[in-house]
Amino acid sequence: MELNSIKPADGAKKSRRRVGRGIGSGLGKTAGRGHKGQKSRAGGYHKVGFEGGQMPLQRRLPKRGFKSAALRYNAEVTLSQLNALAQPEVDLLALKAAGLVDQMIRRVKVIKSGAISVSVKLIGVAATAGAKQAIEAAGGSVA
């Protein structure tokens, strides 16, 4: 291979579209802009969502809903997951180590889903009223 024989791969270089260069080019006269109107003129364009002065769709529709940014750092753990974990003391670090919650999680709450038969002591982990009752019935405690 010589330096003078190097060339780009086939199809890598595409010639740019030259508009307004006569009828034969296929892009003469209006240069692909159509006839008249704002979009045919130099410098004439509008912002995204503009509907010619009509109230745009994003303003016609009602605003609804809200998603808290804090939800990214909250997680739930079920009673059946705690039962499978089978550790006497459970805190946030133990849940992260077991892979039950993501590493970014800051607050965990135990929910009453499934059953628990092992005695578990929760440290720094919240629990719903039903989950707390089930844990205490199994001989555990919620600190």
Whole-number pLDDT of residue 138:
94
Domains, the chain, ordered by start: 70-142 (3.100.10.10)
- 60 has a pLDDT exceeding 90: yes
- 143 has a pLDDT exceeding 90: no
The mean pLDDT value for 124-131 works out to: 96
Whole-number pLDDT of residue 79:
95
The mean pLDDT value for 7-12 works out to: 94
Q: In terms of residues, how long is the chain?
A: 143
Residue 40: which pLDDT band, with cuts at 50, 70 and 90? Answer: very high
Nearest by Cα to 107 from 129, 121, 122: 122
- 46 has a pLDDT exceeding 90: no
Whole-number pLDDT of residue 66:
94
The mean pLDDT value for 76-96 works out to: 94
Residue 45: which pLDDT band, with cuts at 50, 70 and 90? Answer: confident
- 1 has a pLDDT exceeding 90: no
Q: How far is CA 44 from CA 38, 52, 134, in A?
A: 5, 13, 69
Phi, psi of 53 (to 5 degrees): 100, -20
- 106 has a pLDDT exceeding 90: yes
